[in-house]
Structure 1
Amino acid sequence: MPSTLRQPVRRSLFVLLTGAALATLLSVTSAGAVPPPQRTASAPADVYLMDTPADTGIQPHSLSPLWESPDIKVCHTAVECPTSQNPIVGQRNYIFLKLRNPGPYGSGVMEEGSIHVYRTTPGGGAAWPGAWTEIGWMAVPVYAGVTTVTIPWDNVPGPGHFCLLARWVSANDPMTFEGPDITPNTRNNNNVVWRNVDSVALAPGATGQVRPFAIGNTLSRATRNSLVFSEVGAPLRAAGGRLVVDLGPQLFERWVKAGRAGTGIREVGRTQVEIVEPARASLDNLQLNPNERITLGLTFTAATATQEKIALRVTQIGPDSTGAERADLGGVRYDITVGQRAG
């Protein structure tokens, strides 16, 4: 092999994509690529993105949660950041996507397709495709190795907290299954990934940080759902923290009529419930009408500063279109920091 082929080849491509609102500049970088072999009938294509750090592209798989993909990252600049950031409202942000070639069903041939990225309110039960808004897309060649696609995200709407979904679309690497529920879509397609991770920066004794969280029903019948809380980092109590859920008048009334079901909770207001045991709490019998999605409010507060890394997951559990009655319909991981209060 010529010596020039032993070194990683770095490719850059700039494409102007005209969307419904305005032109968007997109970029692609492929690291560790080699000139692709010619496509033949015996050279199948399989480009994939990772659902979790342990994901090797097998479809379906049993890894969870499916909504913390490491291959979707939001950054404030066109230079890729070490860890994903919350987008800045009203400004240009950048979404970085990692495409991997080959997956377990491919040969490493260069594959052409398009990568699409979408947003919705954080939470669960976001029906595909109606609950999702496309941010941007790009037609791109994917060589052997890891290709990074950068999609600018202009005029980010408030409040700046979103669930993101990416889909690799290719005629030679088709979806194996797509229905109205994102969880089975993601589990059965290694070219669909989902990220729902939010950073919450608190100051001791300061006004709480509020985050939207939507729960939805993709079915044509009414359903009963749960919000399940778990801690995956240091506990919230390490900072004297509190989490209060505001169900809103409509959902709170339904919850009361259904018996105020739940564990590790207590009512603290007209429509509010405090999560007093965030490591193992639940709000149950949350009734949703057919094809309904309702946004709740989560308020985080803290009493003391801490260096510990606090992380908490909130997951919607309920029926889905596959017939499962207790399916993971989506959720959010909240990475919480508590620093010293300024002044």
Structure 2
Amino acid sequence: MSSLGTRVRRAAMVGLTAAALTGLLGASAAAAPFEATAPAALTSTTDVYIKDVTADVGVQPHNLNPLWASPDIKVCPNPTECAVSQNPVVGVTNYIFVKLRNPGPYGSGVGTGTLQVYRTTPGGGAVWPTHWTQIGAAYVTVNPGVTTVIIPWTGVPGPGHFCLLARWVSATDPMTIDGPDISLNTRYNNNVAWRNVDSVQLGAGQTTPAGRPFAIGNSLRVPSRNEVVFNAAEPLQAIGGRVVVDLGPELFERWRAGGAVGNGVRPIGRTQVEIVEPTRASLGNLLLNPGERVQFSLLFTAEVASDREIAFNVTQFGPDTSGAKSTDLGGVQYLISAAKR
């Protein structure tokens, strides 16, 4: 491995260690946060990577966003790669295509290892490995260039909406950290990638909303306060779009007890709030217990037909195990379209 690669990896670990110490100093010994663990060796001889975003060239860590929309992970209904990733079909075999790229900036040569693919409920704060279920794995030899690996996904459970995680595990290309925060693992390891993209195809004027699950979690050993931010690439009103967040009785009560902190939202029922700001809104001061992950629902409707997709991002922000007070803990990009009934 080049001396440049060694310096970058070691610099990444130094930065992470300093941040972790900052977090530890701010908590009592009895309530210390989880610590990300590093392998004994920080060097590698090979470097296979998976893109987090289109501009990703394998540098770790990086500041590219969103972390959770990897273009190198794709779901298709059959073993022939589709042009655009699709929502999995419940109850049948689907296929996950993952692109492994060789070499990255920290090694060279043929890489050998195991590609592992996992799933969890869409959203943020999924603790690794507690909240993740393995879909499949394959032992792979990765020659220079791009190798596409197909992982069959049998018996997809309902409702068919998931976050996906791909991990390249290799003795000659170790993880720099492998802690409970998927966001940190993804940013600091070029052999970890994450995809949370969901197509929401609505019927214009349809009164029954399309529902999607979303979960927020806390990887710390102490309670944490979190925010959920809603961003649209353009106003959903362009298709008469409406988004209602059903927090459920317990999370709604926590939001209310925390001061009902929010922007661009309004309560509309005993457990629901409506997103009224066209392009940005938020729900804040949401209390989560240590290690907890709580699910709520997003309800989408549209009144006007449209031949284009509108990207609507939902992201959890909160503290992580590095000591950061508010960072991207994960989210989902919903691609919303409305067809004529």
Normalised by the shorter chain, which TM-score bucket?
Answer: 0.7 to 0.9
* Deviant stretches of 4+, over 3 Å: none
| Counterpart in the other structure of 1:63 | 64
Residue 129 of structure 2 contacts residue 180 of structure 2 at CA under 8 Å; is this kept in 1? yes
Q: Deviations over 1:290-318 (max 9, x none)?
A: 11101000000000101232111000000
Q: Give aligned-pair identity as a percent.
A: 63
The reply to whether residue 50 of structure 1 matches residue 51 of structure 2 is: yes
Mark the runs of 5 or more structure 1 residues left unpaired by the alignment. 1-41
Q: 1:159 to 1:227 in 2, by over 3 A?
A: same
Shift of 1:278: 4.4
Scaled by the length of structure 1, what TM-score is found?
0.86
Pairs within 5 Å for 1:1-343: 44-107=45-108, 109-206=109-206, 207-232=208-233, 234-341=234-341
Mark the runs of 5 or more structure 2 residues left unpaired by the alignment. 1-42
Q: Which structure is higher in RCO with an 8 Å CA cutoff and minimum separation 6?
A: 2
Residue 238 of structure 1 contacts residue 308 of structure 1 at CA under 8 Å; is this kept in 2? no
> Which protein is richer in helix relative to its size?
2
Shift of 1:43: 9.3
Residue 235 of structure 1 contacts residue 311 of structure 1 at CA under 8 Å; is this kept in 2? no
> Take 1:317 and 1:74, find their aligned partners in 2: how far apart are those partners?
27
Scaled by the length of structure 2, what TM-score is found?
0.86
SS in structure 1 of the partner of residue 214 of structure 2: strand
> Take 1:201 and 1:280, find their aligned partners in 2: how far apart are those partners?
21
> Take 1:211 and 1:43, find their aligned partners in 2: how far apart are those partners?
41
Q: 1:258 to 1:43 in 2, by over 3 A?
A: closer
| Counterpart in the other structure of 1:38 | none
> Take 1:49 and 1:153, find their aligned partners in 2: how far apart are those partners?
20
> Take 1:271 and 1:175, find their aligned partners in 2: how far apart are those partners?
42
Shift of 1:277: 1.0
| Counterpart in the other structure of 1:28 | none
| Counterpart in the other structure of 2:3 | none
Residue 117 of structure 1 contacts residue 135 of structure 1 at CA under 8 Å; is this kept in 2? yes
CA RMSD of superposed structures (Å): 1.1
Q: Deviations over 1:81-114 (max 9, x none)?
A: 001000000000000000000011122x111100
Residue 229 of structure 1 contacts residue 315 of structure 1 at CA under 8 Å; is this kept in 2? yes
> Take 2:320 and 2:55, find their aligned partners in 1: how far apart are those partners?
25
